[in-house]
Amino acid sequence: MNVVWSERAEHDLLRHWLFLAERSTFYAERVEARLRSAAALIGTVPFMGRRVVRTTCDLSLPDIQYVIRYRVDEDVVRILEIYSPRQNREEP
């Protein structure tokens, strides 16, 4: 399946990268690579994450403490958002 990043997810990725890069660009790049790699893997195993709603899932990445929220459509996986369980957030 093709993997498509929403504008929000791309913005989340940039926001997290900038936050992490203030402390370490090495770690920020490592986290970005891990998130992109996990998103690509979702394209091969679409329902590997925990289902939140019928076709929306969360894939937890405990090694970097981030979650990828995505939706599975007929022929595409849409990355909806990226968040850290440590951050204060409201559900979309």
Express each pLDDT in 27-57 by its tens digit.
Answer: 999 999 999 999 999 999 999 999 998 889 9
Q: Within 1-92, where are the H helices?
A: 7-21, 25-44
**How much is the mean pLDDT over the chain?**
93
Please tell me the predicted confidence (pLDDT) of residue 54: 86
> Tell me, what amino acid is at 39?
A
Other beta carbons within 10 angstroms of residue 70's beta carbon come to 29
Burial of 60 (0-12, 13-18, 19+ CB in 10 A): middle
Assess whether pLDDT exceeds 70 at residue 92.
no
pLDDT-derived band at 69 (thresholds 50, 70, 90) equals very high
> Has residue 87 got a pLDDT over 80?
no
What are the distances in angstroms from CA 54 to CA 28, 51, 70, 71, 88?
Answer: 32, 7, 11, 9, 25
Kindly state the helix (H) or strand (E) to which residue 4 belongs, with its residue range.
strand 2-5
Q: What is the pLDDT of residues 12-35, one digit of tens each?
A: 999 999 999 999 999 999 999 999
Average pLDDT over residues 78-90: 84
